[in-house]
Structure 1
Amino acid sequence: MKIGYTTYFDAHDVGAWSGTIYNIALALAQQGFQVEYLDNLKKFSHYLFRYKSLYYKLINKQYQRFREPFINKSIARQIETKIRTINPDLIFSPGALEISSLECKQPIVFWSDATFAGLVNFYKDYTNLNKSSIIYGNKLEQSAYDRSKLIIFSSDWAVQTALENYNVDKNKIHVVPFGANIETELTYDEMKTIVQSRKNDILKILFVGVNWYRKGGDILLQAVKELIKSGFKIELNVIGTNPKLNDEDYKFTIIHGFLRKWIPQENKKILDLYKSSHIFIMPTRAEAYGIVFCEANAFGLPALGPDIGGVPTIIKDGINGYLIRHEKAVESIVKSFSEIFSDSNKYTELALSSFNEFKNRLNWNISAKKVKELLYQII
């Protein structure tokens, strides 16, 4: 089957959307599909929309010009031109916007982590939106659902927001989790050796996130201080950002900055930190999915994350980590952490169970197999 894979971005860019766009296409290709790229789409930039952007900035309103019907239709026309050239059997997109104005004879499928309505007032970029962005956003989202023969979301939360906010046939919606955007071929025995080699004299917490505040870095810092007060010896490793900390915080925190997976030396450092850490904690304030939790499980790290957005689809209490109550995050982190490390055997069991969740549920190969089955049902 020939798939026309369409996205605004360069689908070969491992850095686009944290590597998800690249990995979806790769996973489909590894399932035997012929993937043809309808990517690198030009975003129309008319002076009128630049003026509108400036106007809304002056009145302190968020404006999403890529949801303007004129711009969206110009994107669709580009895709349609590419479709006529390659004549695929099916159109597949990692987002709804690309296909919301698309006119083609082929069945359309998209696999996304969120709905527009679900993001409004959840993410900062979707808070305080101007009225037209909300109206156009919802119209385009509905149009994408109407045009799609199959709709795949990465979480139960995304499905719920789709059913609550749009007119969509629930029979064409399915949940297939995203996989980890990190390469590892560790076996269970190798992982067991790694887990058992982790020394308990200092417990190493790993945090990975570019946006320190949204990802809850400040919340984690408070929790670590409480854990230290209760007697734990802790080392907090931070990847992805360079937050400003006080001198006391630097006594237990190591800042590694932004590390790029596509740079071998930097990727090795990332992998080494995953292997040497004991646990992954990210008390994020807003998260549509949270692929980084899957990546933590890939290295036998139990994950602590909030009970919001798509995170509960990934984290299952007592199996690959624990969900923390976002309204009492510090208290919840301290409680779960203390429980996990109250017994070394219990930690080892949870770490290996976390690895099994990655191998059996949270990797691209498993997810792509499920998507393959769904695709052949509609062709």
Structure 2
Amino acid sequence: MNIAFLSSLNPTDIHNWSGTLYYIYQSLQKDHSVTWVGQQQYAGAIDFHHSNYSDDTPFISEKYAPLFGKELSELFDYECYDLIICRDYFFLAYLVTEPPVIYIGDTTFRLFNQYMQIKDMEFLRMAEELEERAIQKANHIVYSSEWAKISAVADYHADPEKVSVIEFGANIDDVPPFQDDIPNSTCNLLFIGKNWEMKGGEKLLDIYHEVKSRGIHCTLTIIGSGPEQDVNDSNIEIYSYIDKSTSEGKVTFRQLLSRAHFLIAPTLFDCYGIVNCEAAAYGIPVITSDVGGVGQVICEGENGFLMPIDAEASDYADKIQDIYLDTERFDALRKKSRQHFENRLNWEVWRVKMNAVFDRLLEDEEGFYIPVYAINVKERKDRRDHIVKEFENKPEFQFNLIEACKHPKGTIGLWNSMVNIVKLAKEKEEDVIIICEDDHYFTENYSRKLLFKEIQEAYMQGADVLSGGIGGFGQAIPVGHKRYWVDWFWCTQFIVVYASFFDKILSYEFKEDDTADDVMSALTNNKMVIYPFISEQKDFGYSDVTRSNMDNQGRIREHFAWANAKLQATEQVCQLNKR
């Protein structure tokens, strides 16, 4: 699936949104072609603002929501995506687009402002309106907690049926093996948080001292922030910053979590708490405030404990003491914490659940399909397995495997196979078909919406043949946003053939030295190709049709590389001429 990831923040930068945006993006890329969209529009709005307003007028992205809506609607009108995932309400509020949109996040504005306490009434009205518009505009909404879903339904009148709760995972690359036991001569407390005050840092120190006062040998490791005053305690270690994107940072983070007995998080506010998922990955029980969406991650008594926000340090110390001194209970809690990570608090589970949402969302769009006839030599099982797999889970195609006609000369066998397919298509009175060879594969540029759009527009321009990707051509002229007319072409691994061309194919007397691509190029002037290519040929190391490809391993990939480079250059020249 071809997905547009609409975000003002760079999803390939692990430092944004505590790394969550990065892991969402990486998870989506495992199954789909994902493109970050929005950076150009956001940067353009900032440049416009700085050019037209004084430095003491702050840039407020919400004020540019109508402009974002206009620009992005125009973009999605000609860029073909199957699905849009949007993170920012100011991008979505005024968006008008055909592909379905999923709005994703961990809170609503109303909930967020319960902590922020913004008093600017003009901004509040604007933000509330944008949030409501975005929620109503979205085809589906995915939150990380029931807490956020309840607000969307109650505060913004969201249809409960179009809101899913899918828990975020732990933002770690290398999942540690679970330690059956860890040394317990010292109780190692852990705190992770960038905002010392908001995350309850001062209460944390009180908790630490309270535990120590009870005769429990205790250490405290602080990651991400720290108190303003110097801490004169050899048992307190402070790591103000650990960059988990570096090898050194990963090692340090892993070492610190591997020795921890409890994660202490007396936070004043948290929409979810990714750090609690990370603790679960290491089998670390969490003792935290019952605020925001934290209760989605922490199941009471299983992977941690939820404390009232006004709980005293002594209340936390009581819990730590009870669990730590009961070895059997503590070990069971650690194992259960790890199970919560493995069963639900990881990005693999998130990926599977998100794909299920995609499937449900796109079900309504299914129903129209195009017949595909894939040619395969019966003895070539490796190619047959390959081509069948290429069309798996693509309901937009009615897939038919056609046994290739045998002939001492492969070019003639291929043509005869194509003729038989066209005869069959004509008998069925089909308007358009796809003829496919068994070495075809879909590139990352493939999109159902793109293919159908190009098929329809090429038909309206009188095309007889539309190729998904070619290995050679002479001249190319742009006739659509992602479609070129070509004077001739090589390679027929994926070609759309219209009914207007059927009789020409059937009436042609194929000659000994002919090739299918040369003949099709000669039979019609109305031939086009989609670019960037949605189809190319896989090099199996042999060819049943073309002798030169058989004798020169890797030649076919060279052809496609050359055609790609030439069309890219053509595209760049066309763009320059538009300026």
Same fold (TM over 0.5): yes
Name the residue aligned to 1:23. 23
Name the residue aligned to 1:58. none
**Bigger relative CO (Cα 8 Å, ≥ 6 apart):** 1
Aligned counterparts of 1:49 and 1:363: Cα–Cα separation in 2: 45
**Contact 1:49–1:65 under 8 Å retained in 2:** no
Within the alignment, does 1:130 sit opposite 2:120 as a pair?
Answer: yes
Q: Structure 1 residue 54: deviation in Å?
A: 4.4
Q: 1:97 to 1:358 in 2, by over 3 A?
A: farther
Aligned length: 358
Of the three residues 206, 217, 221, the one matched with 1:237 is 221
One-letter code of the match for 1:156?
Answer: E
Name the residue aligned to 2:204. 220
The correspondence of residues 77-96 of structure 1 with structure 2, limited to 5 A, is 77-84=70-77, 86-96=79-89
One-letter code of the match for 2:28?
Answer: L
Name the residue aligned to 1:349. 332
Within the alignment, does 1:264 sit opposite 2:247 as a pair?
Answer: yes
Aligned counterparts of 1:340 and 1:39: Cα–Cα separation in 2: 48
TM-score relative to the length of structure 1: 0.89
Q: Structure 1 residue 304: deviation in Å?
A: 1.3
RMSD over aligned Cα, in angstroms? 2.0
Which SS does the other structure have where 2:351 is aligned? helix
Write the deviation string for residues 273-323 of structure 1: whole angstroms up to 9, x where unpaired: 111111111111111111010011111111111111000000011111111
One-letter code of the match for 1:109?
Answer: I
Q: 1:290 to 1:49 in 2, by over 3 A?
A: farther
One-letter code of the match for 1:87?
Answer: C
Name the residue aligned to 1:290. 273
**Contact 1:220–1:283 under 8 Å retained in 2:** yes
**Contact 1:64–1:133 under 8 Å retained in 2:** no
Q: 1:247 to 1:261 in 2, by over 3 A?
A: closer
The correspondence of residues 1-379 of structure 1 with structure 2, limited to 5 A, is 1-30=1-30, 32-41=31-40, 42-43=42-43, 44-45=45-46, 46=49, 54=56, 65-68=60-63, 71-84=64-77, 86-122=79-115, 126-186=116-176, 190-191=177-178, 194-196=179-181, 198-248=182-232, 250-379=233-362
Q: After TM superposition, which residue ranges in structure 1, 4 or more long, deviate above 4 angstroms? A: 47-51
Aligned counterparts of 2:359 and 2:284: Cα–Cα separation in 1: 35
Write the deviation string for residues 351-374 of structure 1: whole angstroms up to 9, x where unpaired: 111011001010111012111111
One-letter code of the match for 2:186?
Answer: I
TM-score relative to the length of structure 2: 0.59
Q: Structure 1 residue 81: deviation in Å?
A: 4.6
Unaligned runs of 5+ in 2: 363-579
One-letter code of the match for 2:109?
Answer: F
Write the deviation string for residues 27-46 of structure 1: whole angstroms up to 9, x where unpaired: 1222x122122142424242
Q: 1:325 to 1:12 in 2, by over 3 A?
A: same
**Contact 1:10–1:39 under 8 Å retained in 2:** no
Q: 1:162 to 1:238 in 2, by over 3 A?
A: same
Aligned counterparts of 2:357 and 2:142: Cα–Cα separation in 1: 9
Write the deviation string for residues 89-112 of structure 1: whole angstroms up to 9, x where unpaired: 111123433212211111110121
One-letter code of the match for 1:324?
Answer: M
One-letter code of the match for 2:206?
Answer: Q
Aligned-pair identity (%): 26
**Contact 2:186–2:217 under 8 Å retained in 1:** yes
Aligned counterparts of 1:82 and 1:11: Cα–Cα separation in 2: 19
Unaligned runs of 5+ in 1: 56-62
Write the deviation string for residues 215-238 of structure 1: whole angstroms up to 9, x where unpaired: 111111111111111111111001
**Contact 1:282–1:305 under 8 Å retained in 2:** yes
Q: 1:172 to 1:26 in 2, by over 3 A?
A: same
Which SS does the other structure have where 1:174 is aligned? strand
Write the deviation string for residues 125-183 of structure 1: whole angstroms up to 9, x where unpaired: x3233111100111000111111111111011111222221122111111111111112
Aligned counterparts of 1:294 and 1:106: Cα–Cα separation in 2: 33
